[in-house]
């Protein structure tokens, strides 16, 4: 589901590895993909055009083994409605969205045994002509079942997704892995968006390091109160980026914010604030970031 920066990147790898893949997209995008294929622009300047099968929602039947949901969170509700006909009794659904809100929705809709959790780490953007543009060398997938008796076993999912062209890691602790990414991504995104700059620039000015540290602490506090405290390795790995004084690191949310696009404010920032409120964990800086992004979204509308 989706042929954007994430779905297009990993989907192209699956096609190139000989997997039987359909891309579920809107009619206009389907027409372009059928005619021109899916173009992937690599860091080395090379361009690969992959012939792909594109389908629209009205063409779906419930005969798929695995449905990979790779859309932005603000498109999730519409995507769920479109993909539902593809999910049969033996179909697993693997979302690659950030945050956790979508997991609750999918489990309620399809049952835990038909839902996987997933983490995608990739540095790509969608170009003006629908091409996938690699902007950093990173391609990682982590995935695992949420139910005790998954309709599609982890070994089968791993065999499908391990193409040798990106890192593919199966796990029995996928909720924890998802929280690790959420804590990191929300912290980095809140810092970028509130201060309108890359993390190194923020940390290099007066008060910058104190600010980024407190944002990170708020996210850790919510994760801990939710029963998923980040492990030492995960905290150190995230902090190495969040506390960096020279890095030009930013998030896709910051890119979208500075280019006039919709942002994933509700799913990545707002849901963290809401969970903190429910658990009695103060999140003043995340609340400020959420208000800031909400004002931006109101201006776009």
pLDDT tens sequence across 179-196:
999 999 999 999 999 999
3-state secondary structure of 92: strand
pTM: 0.93
Q: How far is CA 9 from the centre of its chain?
A: 13
Report whether pLDDT(129) > 90.
no
The token duo for 135 is: 């902007």
Model pLDDT for residues 221-241, shown as the tens digit of each residue: 999 999 999 999 999 999 999
Distance of alpha carbon 199 from alpha carbon 195, whole angstroms: 9
Sequence ranges of the chain with CATH classification 1.10.1040.10: 177-300
Fold that domain 7-172 belongs to in CATH: Rossmann fold (3.40.50)
Residues spanned by CATH 3.40.50.720 within the chain? Answer: 7-172
Query: Going by C-beta distance under 8 Å and a sequence separation of 6 or more, which residues neighbour residue 8?
Result: 2, 38, 40, 124, 126, 132
Q: What's the gap between Cα 112 and its chain centre?
A: 20
pLDDT given at position 282: 98
CATH architecture assigned to 177-300: Orthogonal Bundle (1.10)
- How many alpha carbons fall within 13 Å on the CB side of residue 225? 18
Distance CA 265, CA 219 (A): 15
3-state helix, strand, coil in the chain (%, to 5): 50, 15, 30
Q: b/e map of 259-297 (b: 16 or more CB within 10 Å)?
A: eeebbbbbbbbbbbbebbeeeebebebbbebbebbeebe
Pairwise CA distance, residues 96 & 168, whole Å? 13
Tens of pLDDT, residue by residue over 37-52, are: 999 998 888 899 999 9
């Amino acid at each position: 589901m989706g042929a954007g920066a994430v779905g297009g990147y990993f989907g192209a790898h699956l096609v190139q590895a000989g997997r039987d893949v359909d891309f579920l997209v809107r009619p206009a995008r389907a027409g372009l993909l059928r005619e021109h294929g899916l173009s992937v622009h690599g860091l080395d300047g090379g361009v690969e055009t992959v012939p792909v099968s594109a389908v629209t929602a009205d063409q779906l039947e419930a005969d798929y083994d695995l449905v990979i949901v790779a859309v932005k969170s603000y498109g999730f509700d519409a995507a769920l409605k479109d993909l539902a006909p593809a999910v049969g009794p033996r179909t697993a659904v693997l979302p690659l969205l950030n945050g956790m809100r979508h997991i609750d929705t999918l489990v309620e809709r399809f049952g835990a045994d038909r839902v996987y959790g997933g983490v995608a780490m990739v540095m790509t953007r969608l170009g003006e002509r629908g091409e996938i543009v690699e902007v950093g060398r990173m391609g990682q997938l982590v995935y695992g079942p949420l139910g005790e008796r998954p309709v599609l076993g982890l070994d089968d999912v791993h065999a499908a997704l391990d193409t040798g062209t990106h890192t593919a890691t199966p796990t029995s602790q996928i909720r924890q892995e998802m929280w690790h990414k959420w804590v990191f991504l929300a912290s980095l995104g809140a810092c970028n968006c509130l201060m309108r700059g890359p993390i190194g620039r923020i940390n290099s000015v007066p008060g910058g390091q104190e600010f980024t540290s407190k944002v990170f602490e708020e996210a850790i506090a919510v994760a801990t109160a939710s029963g998923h405290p980040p492990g030492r390795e995960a905290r150190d790995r995230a902090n190495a980026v969040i506390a960096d004084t020279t890095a030009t690191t930013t998030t896709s949310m910051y890119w979208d914010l500075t280019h006039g696009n919709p942002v994933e404010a509700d799913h990545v920032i707002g849901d963290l604030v809401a969970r903190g409120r429910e658990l009695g964990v103060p999140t003043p800086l995340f609340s400020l970031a959420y208000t800031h992004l909400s004002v931006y979204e109101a201006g776009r509308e």
